Amino acid sequence: MTLLVRYLGFFRRDVNQPPLGGSRGNMKKLIGAVGCIAILAWSGTGFAETTLRGISFLAKNHPVMAQVNVWINEVNAAMKGDLRINYVGGTEVVPMLQQPEALRNGVVDVLITVPPFYLDQMPSGLSFALSQISPTEERKSGFYEYMDSEHRKINAHYLGRMHSEPFYLWTKKEPKKIEDLKGLKMRTGSLYDRFMQKLGMIPVNVAGPETYNALESGVVDGLGWTTSGVRSQGWSKQARYVIDVPFFGASNVIALVNQAKWESLPPAQQKKLLDVTADFEPKMIKFFRDAETAEWDALDKSGVKRVKFSAAENKFYKDSAYDVEWAFISGKIGADTTAKLRKMTGN
């Protein structure tokens, strides 16, 4: 600021002096001073770090969120001075089902969520869980670009995947065959409602924190979930049997950014954020694969019993999980678009 005042003082003296033969020199000084003032003004704002306020549909310390924290740390380290994500929390900040609307309206900038929460606006989002290829392959197959464009329907830009772990059905009583599943009341998270119904089960909506009590009291006879959290939250003390036929291994936990906020970022920052996310995804997958192996070891030691059916029933079971979802998607977006989605996801 002192330098700026000196330059302004210089011009004040010059404009009050009579013209001299050195006017060209004064003009050079003028140009140089104006340039300096522009640099000073630009430097006061040009290097301001952009902060994005982020939330998630689960608590920050939930096992499924384990790699979200890693991703945010990688983003903040790689983009230090330019951009940072301030991960403020989960449903204690914005209730779960209100989060997509909060992102749409710009109340938050970044959201870690699952597409079933905005199913009515974007039924194609159910295909995230059905993918048979890696996130890296999805970025080459056209799936990433398609899903990014689809998210304009909720005023969002799709960044990438945050979780990769198969789901299982866990029960309190041991099923010997698929017929034994009929009539069981199962805690659901909406992702596998149609699959459960296909097997004759009864989906029951139970809030996560109430799941243990629901299992203990008999409100539900089991649940659908990954290996992450079943033991640590005590659910496996009640649901001692798991059908060891995994499904939806790609998961559906994704990171979104408000579209208006995305468009406000300089192209270089957009590219850097996408590059960091793409580099993160393979490491994220390895983390969850290793964690699942370790968790199975702990579950086995705790007395949880893995159950399989006959080869034919195992195939029917797994095929049903995918078939009912693709049929539902097709009914919403049409057979032709669904066929393209299946091809882009390796189905």
Local confidence band at 41 (pLDDT 50, 70, 90 cut-offs): very low
Local confidence band at 242 (pLDDT 50, 70, 90 cut-offs): very high
How confident is the model over 90-138, as pLDDT tens digits? 999 999 999 999 999 999 999 999 999 999 999 999 999 999 999 999 9
Q: Is residue 200 part of a domain?
A: yes
Based on the fold, state whether residues 176 and 159 are members of the same structural domain: no
- Residue 39 makes CB contacts below 8 A (sequence gap 6+) with none
Q: Is residue 18 part of a domain?
A: no
User: Has residue 173 got a pLDDT over 50?
Assistant: yes
Q: Is residue 326 part of a domain?
A: yes
Based on the fold, state whether residues 172 and 160 are members of the same structural domain: no
Based on the fold, state whether residues 245 and 256 are members of the same structural domain: no
Tell me the pLDDT of the chain averaged across its residues.
Answer: 89
User: Has residue 185 got a pLDDT over 90?
Assistant: yes
179 to 134, 188, 282, 309: CA distances (angstroms) = 34, 20, 38, 10
Q: Is residue 151 part of a domain?
A: yes
Residue with tokens 């390796």: 346
User: Has residue 248 got a pLDDT over 70?
Assistant: yes
Based on the fold, state whether residues 191 and 243 are members of the same structural domain: yes
Q: What is the mean pLDDT of residues 59-65?
A: 92
- Residue 6 has a pLDDT of 36
Q: Is residue 15 part of a domain?
A: no
Q: What is the CATH number of the domain that holds 189?
A: 3.40.190.170
User: Has residue 29 got a pLDDT over 80?
Assistant: no
Based on the fold, state whether residues 66 and 153 are members of the same structural domain: yes
Q: What is the mean pLDDT of residues 150-172?
A: 97
Asked if 242 contacts 304 with a C-beta cutoff of 8 angstroms, the reply is yes
**Residue numbers of the domain that contains 156:** 50-164+251-290
Based on the fold, state whether residues 156 and 303 are members of the same structural domain: no
> Where in the chain does DSSP place strands (E)?
50-56, 83-89, 110-113, 156-161, 167-171, 185-188, 202-205, 222-225, 241-247, 254-258, 305-307
Q: What is the mean pLDDT of residues 59-87?
A: 96
- Residue 207 has a pLDDT of 85
Based on the fold, state whether residues 61 and 130 are members of the same structural domain: yes
Q: What is the mean pLDDT of residues 67-83?
A: 98
Strand order in the sheet with 110-113: 83-89, 50-56, 110-113, 254-258, 156-161
- Residue 141 has a pLDDT of 98
How far apart CA 116 and CA 104 sit, in angstroms, is 16
Based on the fold, state whether residues 243 and 259 are members of the same structural domain: no
Number of structural domains the chain divides into: 2
Based on the fold, state whether residues 202 and 305 are members of the same structural domain: yes
Based on the fold, state whether residues 101 and 237 are members of the same structural domain: no
Higher pLDDT, 22 or 104: 104
How far apart CA 196 and CA 324 sit, in angstroms, is 10
Q: Which amino acid is at 151?
A: H
Q: Is residue 193 part of a domain?
A: yes
- Residue 47 has a pLDDT of 58
How confident is the model over 278-304, as pLDDT tens digits? 999 999 999 999 999 999 999 999 999
User: Has residue 225 got a pLDDT over 60?
Assistant: yes
